[in-house]
Amino acid sequence: MYMRVVAALLVLVGAALVVELALARAAIRQQSAAVATRVHMVEGTAVPAMGPPDESDAVLDRIVPAVDIPKTSLEKALHSFADQAGVRLTVETESLATQSEDPVEAHLAKVAIRDALSSILRQVEPAPPFSAEDQLIVVGTEKMETRVYDLGPLLPRDVIGASSEKQAAMNALCDQLVNIITGTISPEEWWEGGGKGLATQWNGMLVVHETPRVHRQVSRLLGQLASPQFPALSVTRPSSDPSIWRVPSSVGPAADADAILERVVPTIDIPPSPLSQAIQAFSRQTGINVVVQDGVIEDAKVQTSFEAHLHDVKVVDALRAILQPMDPPPQFCVHGDGLLVGSMGVPYVKIYDVRPLLVPAGVAPPAADAKDAENLRQSIIRCADPDTWAENGGTGEIRYWNGMFLIEQTALRHHDVAALLIEMTRTTAKLGNSSPSPAR
């Protein structure tokens, strides 16, 4: 009798544990689904969500009419900024102990609080982080939070399914995407680079533990990959005329740089002049402010004459033509709303849809085109200023994922890459339209 009672109790305890475990699993699945499937629609395309709503984004994204801070100490500049922006701001004094004592300033109009504060803090080394919580901006710390992103809109249909082969293919694609994210977006802030951020994937979902600032970059990157009309720069073929290729407008932080460099100017007419006068004439005729670093002016004295007579020319090509007589021609980049001659600028990532070059139908299976993608990657490196790529001692990187190239380069190199890909796609289209007769 005693043994029967004990056995009955064990059965009841076991059943209770099974029920509790089942309820816990259901709760976890429900919570994950609630977060992972929270998407918003952008022109009919599902874009991975940012995760739980974050009120701090609303604080930092608010536009202020003007920020005008003359040169002063960082501490005084931050207090002045808080007054002008109408925000509550506190500074962790310990975090400023290691900062340089160089003065800072800011003269901005119609700017987001996030961008204005970043502009001020970047003027000291190392730039202190900041975050917002409960309507309070804290300089000197960044909170970490975990968000879940649904990768479903990014994955090809042929890797979605219950079979072991499809599961393996999906996991391989998701693992590759995790490596791209941690290697592209602030690599030093992830665990692999010595930071605190973590990223992993599970069953078609991306789990990221990072700061809101990094989460915004992750969300932007995933959104661009998920939406064919939104790549930062992609080569696409209109269905009406397969021999004509177009470059859609850019999105994200690269959009302003592209708008300046790619703008077409009706006429550039500069008679033989010293470089300083030629640049001034170029600035007047394009309406773009151009700043030339002192070292460039000194180097230009060897070549006394610069001129250009061009029609319907892009800004980037016109300035290159003016600087061409110098050996080597100086680099230039977009700086604010103008151009800076003598600097390569900061590399940034843009996404190129290269599927039309890999598979005739424009659909790239996850593994079948890996060899073609590598050949195309090597062709870009060899043809677009080889010395600027990581393999040859530079900083440029090309990462491949599911028919897309994520390229990290400076503005001029992105311009060269786009021109190369467009020319290659035009040639591919012509070869595809002219069906050669079979050999007899």
Q: Contact at 8 Å (CB) between 197 and 208?
A: yes
CATH class, range 264-341: alpha beta
Domain residue ranges in the chain: 55-139, 145-226, 264-341, 347-432
Does residue 434 register a pLDDT over 80?
no
pLDDT tier at 249, thresholds 50, 70, 90: very low
Q: For 96-106, what is each residue's pLDDT tens digit? A: 666 667 788 88
**What mean pLDDT do residues 277-306 have?**
83
**What mean pLDDT do residues 57-63 have?**
82
When mean pLDDT is compared across 30-39, 164-173, 196-205, 403-412, the lowest value belongs to 30-39
Q: Is 403 exposed, middle or buried (0-12, 13-18, 19+ CB in 10 A)?
A: buried
pLDDT tier at 360, thresholds 50, 70, 90: low
- At residue 321, the pLDDT reads 92
Residue type, 123: Q
Q: Contact at 8 Å (CB) between 409 and 396?
A: yes
User: Measured between alpha carbons, how far is 335 from 347 in angstroms, rounded to an integer?
Assistant: 13
- At residue 68, the pLDDT reads 92
- At residue 54, the pLDDT reads 52
Q: Contact at 8 Å (CB) between 32 and 24?
A: no
User: Measured between alpha carbons, how far is 377 from 381 in angstroms, rounded to an integer?
Assistant: 6
- At residue 267, the pLDDT reads 94
Residue 268's contacts (CB-CB under 8 Å, 6 or more residues apart) are 282, 285, 286, 308, 309, 310, 311, 313, 318, 321
User: Measured between alpha carbons, how far is 432 from 435 in angstroms, rounded to an integer?
Assistant: 6
Identical fold for domains 55-139 and 264-341, yes or no, is: yes
Q: For 362-391, what is each residue's pLDDT tens digit? A: 444 444 467 888 889 999 999 888 888 998
Q: What is the pTM of this model?
A: 0.60
Write the DSSP string, 218-276: HHHHHHHHH-TT--SS--B--SS-TT--B-PPP-GGGHHHHHHHT-EEEEEEEEEE-HH
User: Measured between alpha carbons, how far is 105 from 69 in angstroms, rounded to an integer?
Assistant: 5
- At residue 47, the pLDDT reads 39
The SS3 assignment for 45 reads strand
User: Measured between alpha carbons, how far is 261 from 412 in angstroms, rounded to an integer?
Assistant: 9
Residue type, 183: G
Who wins on pLDDT, 318 or 256?
318
**What mean pLDDT do residues 112-122 have?**
87
Which range in 2-6, 91-95, 168-172, 220-224 is most confidently predicted, on average pLDDT? 168-172
The SS3 assignment for 111 reads strand
* Paired tokens of 423: 């020319």
State the residue for tokens 């311009």: 415
219, 264, 183, 253: which is closest to 38 by C-alpha? 219
Q: Contact at 8 Å (CB) between 392 and 409?
A: no
CATH class, range 55-139: alpha beta
**CB atoms near residue 360 (< 10 Å):** 10
In the chain, the N- to C-terminal Cα span, in Å, equals: 95
**What mean pLDDT do residues 251-265 have?**
69
* Paired tokens of 285: 């005729």
330 prior amide bond cis, ω within 30: no
Who wins on pLDDT, 37 or 140?
140
- At residue 251, the pLDDT reads 33
The SS3 assignment for 438 reads coil
Which spans in 243-346 are helix H? 255-261, 275-286, 294-300, 315-323
* Paired tokens of 409: 């380069």
Q: Is 182 exposed, middle or buried (0-12, 13-18, 19+ CB in 10 A)?
A: buried
388, 364, 415, 33: which is closest to 225 by C-alpha? 364
Q: For 118-171, what is each residue's pLDDT tens digit? A: 888 888 887 888 888 778 888 887 788 888 998 888 888 777 777 888 888 888
